[in-house]
Amino acid sequence: MTEPLVRSCTKCQQVKPLDDFSAAPRGKWGRKASCKSCDAVRHASTFTPAPEGQRSESLGRAIAARRERETTKTCSKCGEEKPRDQFHVSRQGKFGPVLKSACKDCGAAAVREWYSRNSDQSNTNRRRLQLKQNYGLTVEQYVDMLEAQGNACAICHQPERAVHGNGTAFGLSVDHCHDSSDVRGLLCQRCNRAIGLLGDDVELLRSAIAYLLNPPARGLI
């Protein structure tokens, strides 16, 4: 029997092209008896979507379960498939840790490349982090202290004389009380080491001054 070009829908009774009927291997001429439009209306009237929160919850649990089954992950940078422990955790998601897309090796290489291209910016960032972590200072507060001291050491009143390997001078060191952690001022490396070697002990420092003013060997030699 030759396949017709049109047929009548059993729902809307309209005669439509055969392509307007979904495929059905066991149907007449391999098509469903009702047209696609009527099928869509029937499906919409019976379909009840899950609440938004429930859908996202189910999706999240499914993704987390898939991650637990997987033992490897493909790096977005080098394209290599590596064990999951070769990827840093990007964040802790609701359904478990989310790994970074790049492996640890590629991530480290990217950081080194950035620092090599942005040495000035990286030094500023490193200094900002050190000041905050070690002394609770901002760069702006450090600059204010430096200007108040006339860009010189608070003890010898001289600028820093120690230099880096590239010939640039070190910044003045932040001096702080090791008992209270209170910041006292900015010192050059020589003065900072000097009071540190004497344990920040005021009596020892006074004794050292007295020694220099009146050395015991004076008049004996």
- 3-state helix, strand and coil shares in percent for the chain, rounded to the nearest 5: 45, 15, 40
- Max alpha carbon distance in the chain (Å)? 135
- Which helix (H) or strand (E) segment holds residue 195: the answer is helix 189-197
Note down the domain range covering 83: 59-111
Domain CATH number, residue 162? 3.40.1800.10
Task: With respect to residue 147, please indicate whether it lies within any of the assigned structural domains.
Answer: yes
CB atoms closer than 10 angstroms to residue 122: 14
**pLDDT of amino acid 125:** 73
Number of domains in the chain: 2
Please, which pLDDT band fits residue 190 given cuts at 50, 70 and 90? very high
Q: What is the pLDDT of residues 12-53, one digit of tens each?
A: 999 988 888 888 888 777 888 899 999 888 877 766 555 555
pLDDT at 191 over 70: yes
Domain membership of residue 71 (yes or no) is yes
Q: What is the pLDDT of residues 73-94, one digit of tens each?
A: 899 989 999 998 899 888 776 6
